[in-house]
Chains A and B, each alone.
Chain A
Amino acid sequence: MLDLASNNGQARQEQELANSPLAIRGLTVSYGQKPAVFSVDMTVEAGRMTAIIGPNGAGKSTMLKAALGIVPAVSGQIQVFGKPLEAQRARIAYVPQRASVDWDFPTRVIDVVLMGLYRELGLLGRLRPSHRATAMDCLDQVGMGDFASRQIGQLSGGQQQRVFLARALAQGADLYLLDEPFAGVDAATEKAIIGVLKTLRAAGKTVVVVHHDLATVAEYFDNVFLINTRKVAEGPVAVSFSAANLQATYGGRLATAQVDQLALALG
């Protein structure tokens, strides 16, 4: 019985692996002796916007970083569009947390966006006016065209976040991974970012966002992935973003009243 189940499961799984923009199997990441992410499977659905949610320290960002090879994993397999990560780098764009870089770095807004064209330019490729035009276009999409020659440290937090998004747009990827893009930004920025992400989805791109604001999940996203060290649930918002799953994810950390309220909002 076990063997039969295993064979069926295997066939289905391999199908999923081949189709999914990002498929994670058995991923465990650990800082020291305590796993931050334990044996997590994730299958991102193509052409959708997926939110990764969970309490602070639940391993959301860690999972994303390990999937991209930024931090090492103890175990696990990653497939991007059915192939190993290394072969598919050009199809992924990553937007790190804003606080992960030194904003006092001597560089201008336009230079940061041009970094997104690295795979196109290569080590020594000449920077042509067309590249600059692409970068400017990406800046305009996030509403930052007027700031192109500012030093990045002179921007507000929300503006910095938009520059990061413009850099990802410049990469022209098929899969966009964003780590807490709405953390500590103003309302205008949040609106601008979500607008850009929806445009990407309309163009058939896949978007995965590490998200912390439960109140906006239903409004912004198609799918959710609930994690607290282990995966709790994965699927369409209407099905998986349920009070029971939230309870299982946040446990005692989410007040019952809050859960009820969310459930109410979900209808």
Chain B
Amino acid sequence: MSGEEFVPLSLTPLLIGIFAAVACALPGNFLLLRKQALIGDAISHVVLPGIVVAFLLTGAISAAPMMLGAAGAAVVAVVLIEAIRRLGRIEPGAAMGVVFTTMFAGGVLLLEQTDTSSVHLDVEHALYGNLESLIWLDATGWSSLLDPQALAYLPVELSRMALTLLAVSLFIALFWRVLKISTFDEGFARTLGIRTNLLGLALVITAAVAAVAAFDAVGSIIVIAMFICPPAAARMMSNHLEGQVAWSVGFAVSSAVLGYVLAGYGPLWLGAQDAVSAAGMIATVSGLMLALTARFGPCRTRSGAPVGV
């Protein structure tokens, strides 16, 4: 494929997909090890009510308030889950189920009650985004990458997603050591004076930020898949944390690339005319990778010695 076609039509969605996938997979590693994998699921459901409320308050579709609304909703959800879990002494899974379904239901109801026909805001978009539409019309070929005028018209989602990825990576790098200690042995971490509760909340908020930014670009389903599938597949490949995180980044990037290509060109190869959902395809590919590693990965089985030996 030539640069004239690739750069304007495929380069930016591809990059956005990759950034989103990695930004979600990084915190996903720790969520997975903390048995909080489904927090990503809960967060991505509550993004919808957050965005609807932000829209109702500002009356306009603009990125900043919506991102704020979504992030706010994610924090509210996490706090509510924790509150219900503790106050009602309910197991975390059930508490999560209560909160995210209710908030999602509230979001759908608000959406139905509001006239959003004039704006691009609907449940389907929230679920599977529209990665394919994030094209770079001003580009003419590879040379546009050096052309300031064309660069000025890059889709804003690209820079937003790149910034998010940078922030998430910084957080993980900065707190790597404490995250590792407190994820492995929380009680021990507290005796070292590590504020494990705060750290746990910071991790969830980081995940929420990644989810919200990715959601804006690619929809929530890919977000859940990227939180869980690449880290889960990486878990089957490595027995130490550094290796696991590296593998998960690799899986995230390759599912984004493969998924995007298959969605765009797969149907053409099969003789159909239209592309299929890239977000859905990326999730599917990440699932296939998980299936392969679960079957053949070198570290796929539990290695814990039986307690009491």
A and B physically associate: yes
Residues of A within 8 A of B (CB): 65, 68-70, 86, 89, 92-94, 96, 98-108, 111-112, 115, 118-119, 121, 123-124, 151, 153-158, 160, 167, 184
Q: By the criterion CB–CB under 8 Å, are A153 and B307 in contact?
A: no
Q: A94-B187, A105-B33 are in contact. List 13 more A-B contacts (CB 8 A).
A: A68-B191, A86-B193, A98-B307, A103-B305, A106-B33, A106-B235, A115-B181, A118-B178, A124-B174, A155-B305, A156-B309, A157-B306, A158-B309
Assembled-state Cα–Cα distance A105/B107 (Å): 38
A-facing residues in B233-269 (Cβ within 8 Å): 235, 238-241, 243-244
Shortest CB distance A214–B (Å): 20
Q: By the criterion CB–CB under 8 Å, are A70 and B304 in contact?
A: no
Q: Which residue of B lies closest to A115 (CB)?
A: B181
Q: By the criterion CB–CB under 8 Å, are A99 and B307 in contact?
A: yes
Assembled-state Cα–Cα distance A96/B178 (Å): 18
Q: By the criterion CB–CB under 8 Å, are B303 and A69 in contact?
A: no
Kindly supply a per-residue 1/0 record for chain B positions 35-60, scoring 1 wherever the CB is within 8 Å of any chain A CB and 0 otherwise.
00000000000000000000000000
Q: Does B175 contact A (CB under 8 A)?
A: yes
Q: List 9 A-B contacts (CB under 8 A).
A: A65-B187, A89-B193, A94-B187, A100-B187, A106-B244, A107-B239, A154-B303, A158-B309, A160-B305
Q: Which residue of B lies closest to A89 (CB)?
A: B193
Q: By the criterion CB–CB under 8 Å, are A157 and B304 in contact?
A: no
Q: By the criterion CB–CB under 8 Å, are A115 and B307 in contact?
A: no
A107: contacting residue among B174, B188, B235, B240, CB under 8 A: B240
Kindly supply a per-residue 1/0 record for chain B positions 172-193, scoring 1 wherever the CB is within 8 Å of any chain A CB and 0 otherwise.
0011011011011101101111
Shortest CB distance A29–B (Å): 14
Q: Which residue of A lies closest to B89 (CB)?
A: A32
Assembled-state Cα–Cα distance A94/B187 (Å): 9
Which of B33, B181, B183, B193 counts the most A-chain CB atoms under 10 A from its CB?
Answer: B193
Q: Does B88 contact A (CB under 8 A)?
A: no
Q: By the criterion CB–CB under 8 Å, are B308 and A94 in contact?
A: no
Assembled-state Cα–Cα distance A90/B193 (Å): 9
Q: By the criterion CB–CB under 8 Å, are B309 and A184 in contact?
A: yes
Q: Does B120 contact A (CB under 8 A)?
A: no
Q: Which residues of B contact A184 (CB under 8 A)?
A: 307-309
Q: By the criterion CB–CB under 8 Å, are A151 and B239 in contact?
A: yes
A106: contacting residue among B177, B191, B243, CB under 8 A: B243
Residues of B within 8 A of A (CB): 33, 174-175, 177-178, 180-181, 183-185, 187-188, 190-194, 235, 238-241, 243-244, 299, 302-309
Q: By the criterion CB–CB under 8 Å, are A153 and B240 in contact?
A: no
Assembled-state Cα–Cα distance A157/B306 (Å): 8
Q: Which residues of B contact A124 (CB under 8 A)?
A: 174, 177
Q: Which residues of B contact A94 (CB under 8 A)?
A: 187-188, 191
Assembled-state Cα–Cα distance A120/B184 (Å): 19
Q: Which residues of A contact B188 (CB under 8 A)?
A: 94, 96, 115, 167
Which of A89, A94, A118, A123 counts the most B-chain CB atoms under 10 A from its CB?
Answer: A118
Q: Which residues of A contact B33 (CB under 8 A)?
A: 102, 105-106
Please report the number of residue pairs spanning A and B whose Cβ atoms sit closer than 8 angstroms: 103
Q: By the criterion CB–CB under 8 Å, are A111 and B185 in contact?
A: no
Q: Which residues of B contact A155 (CB under 8 A)?
A: 305
B303: contacting residue among A92, A119, A121, A151, CB under 8 A: A151
Q: By the criterion CB–CB under 8 Å, are A107 and B184 in contact?
A: yes
Q: Which residue of B lies closest to A118 (CB)?
A: B192
Q: Which residue of A lies closest to B238 (CB)?
A: A106
Which of B180, B192, B302 counts the most A-chain CB atoms under 10 A from its CB?
Answer: B192
Shortest CB distance B305–A (Å): 6
Q: By the criterion CB–CB under 8 Å, are B307 and A157 in contact?
A: yes
Q: By the criterion CB–CB under 8 Å, are A103 and B304 in contact?
A: yes
Q: By the criterion CB–CB under 8 Å, are B309 and A157 in contact?
A: yes
Q: What 6 pairs across the A-B complex have the smallest Cβ distances?
A: A153-B303, A151-B239, A103-B304, A89-B193, A94-B191, A184-B308
Q: By the criterion CB–CB under 8 Å, are A119 and B192 in contact?
A: yes
- With A86-B193, A107-B240, A153-B305 given, is the CB distance from A96 to B177 under 8 Å? no
Shortest CB distance B127–A (Å): 32
Q: Which residues of B contact A107 (CB under 8 A)?
A: 180, 184, 239-241
- With A105-B33, A124-B174 given, is the CB distance from A157 to B308 under 8 Å? yes
Q: Which residues of B contact A160 (CB under 8 A)?
A: 305
Q: By the criterion CB–CB under 8 Å, are B241 and A106 in contact?
A: yes
Q: Which residues of B contact A96 (CB under 8 A)?
A: 185, 187-188
Q: By the criterion CB–CB under 8 Å, are A118 and B307 in contact?
A: no
Q: Which residues of B contact A92 (CB under 8 A)?
A: 191
Assembled-state Cα–Cα distance A132/B309 (Å): 29
Assembled-state Cα–Cα distance A92/B190 (Å): 12
Q: By the criterion CB–CB under 8 Å, are B174 and A105 in contact?
A: no
Shortest CB distance B173–A (Å): 9
Q: Which residues of B contact A167 (CB under 8 A)?
A: 188
Q: Which residue of B lies closest to A105 (CB)?
A: B184
Assembled-state Cα–Cα distance A104/B180 (Å): 14
Assembled-state Cα–Cα distance A103/B33 (Å): 11
Q: Which residues of A contact B194 (CB under 8 A)?
A: 118
A153: contacting residue among B192, B302, B308, CB under 8 A: B302
Shortest CB distance A38–B (Å): 22
- With A94-B188, A96-B188, A123-B177 given, is the CB distance from A104 to B303 under 8 Å? yes
Assembled-state Cα–Cα distance A143/B235 (Å): 30
Q: By the criterion CB–CB under 8 Å, are B192 and A102 in contact?
A: no
